[in-house]
Structure 1
Amino acid sequence: MGRYALRIFREDLASWVPIVLVIAATSALVGVCANQFAWTSSKAFGAAAGAAGLSAFEFQAVSVTVYAEVALLALFSLSAVGAATVERCRPTFALWRLMGATPGQAGRAALLLVGIASAVGSLAGSLASVPLSALLVPAFDGMAAESFSGGLGSFTPPPFSASPAAWALSFALSVATCMLGSVAAAVRAARVRPVDSLRGGRAGRRGRGGHPILGWALVACALATPLAGLPAAESAGGQLSQAMANLVALAGLLSLLAMVAFGARGVRAALRVAGVLPAAVRSPVGRLAARAATELASRNASAMVPLAAAVGGAGGILLTTARTLEAVMRRLGFSGSFDMTDTYALIGLAAGFALATAVAVLALSARDEGRHQALLRTLGLTPRGVAAAVAWQSALVALGAALLSLVPIACSSFAALALTWMFWGAPAAYAPLPEALAAGVVVWVVLLAVRWAQVRGAVHSSPAACLRS
């Protein structure tokens, strides 16, 4: 089955390029973080820091937030990419089953396909992390030292050298995360029925994946975080503001994991709620787009979950935590200014990776989208109607992602409200709803541009020619 998987990858190489680039970028980012940790943990760096009266641990401590965000980015992006890779080829696996392939052969081919894409991207990214680390790591440590009470002082760092272990770690982690993210999709591909090849690529893709019981359990844990963490916050003393901010972030992180656990079921529920909009404005094309988006919940989940994680996780949780920390410190008498530059930089990093992941997932379905719009043309839909359908599809996916992002936003805001009320009797919290709305609009514009680029050829050419391609 290996040569067949390689043939699938080679014959539609243009569609796989965005996926490979996302894997490469994520692997490079992981490699930079690994090199930073390896360099600051080396004996030469520790000796240089000790000679200047500094601790090497300080350089690592300021990077913990970056490490955590990169880990979450890698988890969401690479697992989504792995699942989307299998979902893209589900009709092919159904055809193989019709021709006599066993479920085991279909499942192994799916995993081999993910392995090829992840190995190519991870190898390129891990190699690129070596020169990037030499450029970024010393500069980052210099900027991080600005947060030290006495700055760098007389500290002169040793020459930077990339760690072979960091290169191997970034490659192995990227491949492993992609493979783990594709396991559930590969199992579904192995279970695909041969008759699904005759029903088209939409058969059996109604979005039943997910673990709702685990999701609701995580939501319950997130809502109980303020009460469970109250004793620790009360004993924090002078670190009360930091303890409360940590509890808010923990509640948001648990709810973010809950959103992932809901999976395609949560995506389908969000798309159903979003489908109320075209029904309210009585748009037949919008209703058709809403029904199609709901039926393709499994495929849309690969794009929507990373987007919702960026909006609700990176944007919502970080902003809520930072604003809660600011409010608590104001109540404790701090009158200085707060620098949110690093917070916005982390949000921008997450947003960029989420959009890149969504674009890569959509690029895999370029051929299917063109054929779908050509089929609508044969049924009588005008080119203007096709454009309206594309706009509605993009809007519904963006709105669904924004609705999903409300889960971590609501839980982290509730934690902030509960903690401030229990301590001072006056609740105070910041819910970044305007930012989430603005992010939803940006997502819609990007998705609209990508989808229109996919179907533009089908709109301006003969439907018969597109269906034959």
Structure 2
Amino acid sequence: MNAASAALLAETRRRPGRLLLTGLAVTVATVFAAGTLLLGETMRSYLTATSMQTPTAAAAVVLPERLPDAARADLVDRVAAVDGVTAAVGVWTRFASVRGPGVAGMWRLGSDPMGGPLTRLPSGAQEGRLPAAGDEVAVGAGTAERTGVRPGTRLVVESPTSPRQVVVTGVVALPTEAVNSLIALPHAVATLGGTLDQVDVTSSEVDAEITIGAVLGAPDAVRTSAEQRAAEARQASGTVDAVLAGVSVFAGLALVAAAVVVASTFRIVLTQRRTQLALLRCVGAGRGQLVRAVLAEATVSGVVAGVLGAGVAVAAGYALVSALRLGGLDAPALVVPWPGIAAAGLMAVAATVVAALVPAVAAGRTPPVAALGAAGAAETGVPRRGPRVMVAAGLGMVAAGLAVLAVTGGGGELALVMLAVSGLVGFAALVASGPLLVGALVATAGRAVAALGRGPGRLAVANARQVPRRTAATIAVLTLGVGLTSALLVALAQTEAGAQRTIARQFPTEIIVTASDPGSVAALARRLGTHPALRVRAEAEQVLIDPAPGVDIAAARGAVDRALGPDALVSYAGDLRAELESTLATARLIGLGLVGMTVLVAVVGVGVTLMLSVTERTRETGLLRAVGLTRRGVRSMIAWEAALCGLAAAVVGALIGAAYGLLGVRALDAGLESWTIPWSQLAVVVAGIVTTAVLAAVAPAVRAGQTPPIVAVSA
């Protein structure tokens, strides 16, 4: 270790708080990245365990999709007739329209032998009994809780020929129950139009799969039970990988935001220590030594942030699992992928070192005499325009080109990836041009701040304009969080509007009745039209129904259910709207949760930047106090500076995010019949980010106001 590195690390040991402030944003991002890995691996372990549904007692399974259509007829009987086969059970599934007292919608209908070695039910009936006849079904425990269906309930299940009535005999636990589910005997599901997914086989022969494959003339269509369970596990793992990849994008964005914060904080820290660096140059330290010393300090900061972030994530994971179990929930065991956690820590170190590289090189280029004479003014002034304009223009052209390719390239996942890369490149262009744009942003948003904040507000505007690099970095990282949030809200609003238009086209009325016999439409319309609560008309093979004036939709639905038997299929526009709203609400919560981590990193960045800048401006603050600015005025000045950065970032981020949200919908070929911008939601985002930025400035503002003028002036 050279002398310069030893001196800087000794300074770090004397002031550990500065080290923690520098790496705080990276710590938050590391918590997110490590938490993503913990969630992914725990989900993978849990889904792998629950997805292996082929019974361990099966000797082999037959996969009908690997056979020609003609060979699938009577497949179960043909397999059962093979020498050595002791039992062959078909696994049938179907998604069918189900309706009954207070329930309607698409349900999953599965099959099970209801006993024996090939049953897939983890236990017997929790309530009632298992089905024993073709017109009997069992309902999943989760479905029963959601819908109120219990033993004795009669349901109507749509089939390819005509609706059939079944009776629920029991409630059973199912391995997975993401949708409403019923279980029936295999021949019952086959009769209702189910699809044969596989045939489970028990056999007295060791190599049953070879014998069955030879008889069927298709060896590839037969697997051992172990091979099938391994394939089911891989399929579940692939689903987790896809989800994990999507979440990792947001973890990467959080690290990008953290790197911007680190670059800004390192620049401020090095400015505060410019005299120390100059003295090191005077006693013989070279530029390369200073650069290596600063990078060594960044490495220490990254290591501390990475270890702390990974430790917090693991501890939070164990705490969450324990809390869920104490609450009575069946939480899966936490799986800690230590190599992945270590990789997240290394990424934190790499992000910190890369972010510190430019400030380190800038510190090393300053001559000793110039550094001693400009210790207080290195961050002030507008940086050179030429190189920044060229870099920003080039990045902007690349971002625009990628966006054009994304929306004209035919849609799909590749289009979304290109659009995401376009957004990152555009953010890089914003970072490059940020110090040059600060003047314009301050001139516009600063007017409102100066008018509302009066004297402290005008001082805040002057501070932001005086140090454009610091202001630009604060605005940029906030802009990233606001842009992601705005893009998500606009895309969801556009999707919801398109879906509502589709529902309106498909459902010209609130209730549609489809008769199994087209010749009975007129009779159905006449029967329903006699009810005073309904307004009915027949059209093609459907009966279109609206509530009568003054009648609510619940009363109209009750009238239709009472008037119809199992000879018609009823669809409700309200159910589709409710399902759409539920899906979008879930997507909104998940998306905002992921984006929220980037916003949190940005807010931490605001707090850290202001905390360090308050220390940097101690003498300036003392002079202001000496000429009459009160403690309250100092606190207001810091708060208005944060509000200015928040307002500029919120407006720019909302505009850019809204544009990318619309481009995302277009890239998915969802169509843009008309623009649907959620202005009220964007206004809430703008107000929220300004308020959050001001709250992040509370601690720095209080600290600035507490410094006595005489101490500040002598600093």
250-259 vs 27-36, greater mean Cα deviation: 250-259
One-letter code of the match for 1:64?
A: A
In 2, distance between residues paired with 1:24 and 1:113? 16
Q: Is the Cα–Cα contact under 8 Å of residues 23 and 118 in structure 1 kept in the other structure?
A: yes
Report the Cα offset of residue 325 of structure 1.
Answer: 2.4
Structure 1 position 71, deviation (Å): 1.2
Which of the residues 92, 102, 107 maps onto 2:286?
102
2:389 counterpart of 1:208: no
| Count of residue pairs brought into register by the alignment | 443
Shift in CA distance, 394/213, structure 1 to aligned 2, threshold 3 Å:
same
Q: The residue matched to 2:366 in structure 1 has which SS?
A: coil
Structure 2 counterpart of 1:108, which letter? R
Give the residue type in structure 1 aligned to 2:467. Answer: L
What corresponds to 2:7 in structure 1?
Answer: 4
* TM-score with structure 1 setting the length: 0.79
Does 1:468 pair with 2:471? no
The residue correspondences of 1:165-204 to structure 2 (distance < 5 A) are: 165-193=339-367, 194-204=369-379
Q: 1:372 corresponds to which residue?
A: 620
Partner of 1:319: 489
Confirm whether residue 330 of structure 1 aligns to residue 500 of structure 2.
yes
Q: Deviations over 1:25-72 (max 9, x none)?
A: 322322222344455667x97476344656221223233332211110
Tell me: CA distance 1:13–1:268, structure 2 relative to 1, closer, same or farther (3 Å): farther
The one-letter code matched in structure 1 to 2:442 is L
CA 248–11 in structure 1, closer or farther in 2 if over 3 Å, else same = same
Q: 1:245 to 1:329 in 2, by over 3 A?
A: farther
CA contact under 8 A between 1:252 and 1:317: conserved in structure 2?
no
- Equivalent position to 2:640, from 372, 392, 396: 392
1:332–1:311: structure 2 CA closer, same or farther, 3 Å change rule?
same
Which of 405, 416, 426 is the aligned partner of 1:228?
Answer: 405
* C-alpha contact (below 8 Å) 2:264/2:609 kept by paired residues: no
Relative contact order, CA 8 A, sep 6+: which one is greater? 1
1:178, CA displacement in angstroms? 0.8
Residue 17 of structure 1 is matched in structure 2 by 20
Map 1:113-192 onto structure 2 (within 5 A). Answer: 113-134=297-318, 160-192=334-366
Counterpart in 1 of 2:705? 456
Q: Cα deviation per residue 1:235-261 (whole Å; 9 max; x = unaligned)?
A: x6xxxxx89987876665553343234
**1:66-77 aligned within 5 A:** 66-77=247-258
Residue 51 of structure 2 corresponds to residue 49 of structure 1: yes
Q: Which residue of 2 aligns with 1:270?
A: 441
Aligned AA for 1:341? L
Judged with a 3 Å threshold, the aligned counterparts in structure 2 of structure 1 residues 92 and 176 are, in CA distance, closer, same or farther, namely: same
Task: In structure 2, give the amino acid aligned to 1:188.
Answer: A
Distance of 1:36 and 1:420 partners within structure 2 = 28
Aligned match of 1:59: 240
* Alpha-carbon contact 2:456-2:636 (below 8 Å) kept: yes
Deviation of the 1:216 alpha carbon: 3.7
Q: What amino acid is the match of 1:68? A: V
CA contact (8 A) 1:79 1:180 kept: no
Deviations 1:164-198 (A, max 9, x none): 21122011100001111111111111123433433
Seen in structure 2, the aligned counterparts of structure 1 residues 426 and 380 have a Cα distance that, compared at 3 Å, is closer
Contact 1:252–1:411 at 8 Å: present in 2 too? no
- Contact persistence 1:374–1:464 (CA under 8 A): yes
How far apart, in 2, do the equivalents of 1:263 and 1:71 lie? Answer: 21
Aligned to 2:546: none
Give runs of aligned pairs for residues 441-452 of structure 1, distance below 5 A: 441-452=690-701
Superposed CA deviations along residues 5-42 of structure 1, whole A, max 9, x for unmatched, are 12222222234434444333322322222344455667
1:413-451 superposed Cα distances (whole Å, 9 cap, x missing partner): 563697799956534444653033212431342144133
1:439 aligns with 2:442: no
Q: CA–CA distance in 1 between the matches of 2:245 and 2:357? A: 29
Instruction: Give the 5 Å matches for 1:301-312.
Output: 301-312=472-483
CA shift for structure 1 position 110? 1.9
Whole-angstrom distance in 1 between the partners of 2:400 and 2:16: 46
Question: Residue in 2 aligned with 1:239?
Answer: none
| Aligned-residue RMSD, C-alpha | 3.8
Give 1:370 deviation, angstroms.
3.3
Separation (CA, whole Å) in 1 of partners of 2:697 and 2:474: 13
Equivalence for 2:561: none
Q: Is 1:84 matched with 2:227?
A: no
**Matched ranges for 1:348-359 at <5 A:** 348-359=596-607
Q: Which moved more, 1:14-23 or 1:64-73?
A: 14-23
Which structure 1 residue ranges, 5 or more long, are not aligned? 141-151, 237-241
TM-score, structure 2 normalization: 0.54
CA 1:268–1:447: 2 relative to 1, 3 Å: farther
CA contact (8 A) 2:265 2:608 kept: no
Identity %: 21
Secondary structure of 1:162's aligned partner: coil
Identify the residue that residue 259 of structure 1 maps to in structure 2: 430
How far apart in 2 are the matches of 1:137 and 1:187?
Answer: 46
| Alpha-carbon shift at residue 467 of structure 1 (Å) | 2.8
SS at match of 2:10: helix
Specify the SS of the correspondent of 1:365. helix
User: Over alpha carbons, which structure has the higher Rg?
Assistant: 2
Whether contact under 8 Å (1:251, 1:412) holds in the other structure is no
Alpha-carbon contact 2:267-2:359 (below 8 Å) kept: yes
CA distance in 1, matches of 2:403, 2:501: 19
Three-state SS of the structure 1 residue aligned to 2:712 is: helix
Query: Contact 2:490–2:676 at 8 Å: present in 1 too?
Result: no
Of 202-211 and 335-344, deviating more is 202-211
Structure 2: 5+ residue runs without aligned partners? 55-231, 325-329, 504-575
Q: Which has the higher strand share?
A: 2
Q: 1:422 to 1:71 in 2, by over 3 A?
A: closer
Structure 2: how far apart are the matches of 1:324 and 1:246?
A: 19
Amino acid at match of 2:6: R
Name the SS for the 1:275 alignment partner. Answer: helix
Hey, what's the Cα distance between the residues in 1 that align with 2:317 and 2:354? Answer: 27
Give yes or no for contact 1:20–1:118 (8 Å, CA) kept in 2.
Answer: yes
* Larger helix percent: 1
Aligned mates of 1:417, 1:447 — CA distance in 2: 34
Q: Give the Cα separation in 1 of the matches to 2:464 and 2:455.
A: 14
Change (3 A) 1:328 1:204: same
Distance 1:195 1:218, change over 3 A: closer
1:253-283: per-residue Cα shift (whole Å, max 9, x none)? 5533432343433445433433344566795
Q: Which amino acid aligns with 1:260?
A: V
* Mapped partners of 1:60, 1:420: distance in 2: 21
Contact 1:32 1:129 in 2 (8 A): yes
| One-letter code aligned to 2:365 | R
Query: 3-state SS of the aligned residue for 1:426?
Result: coil
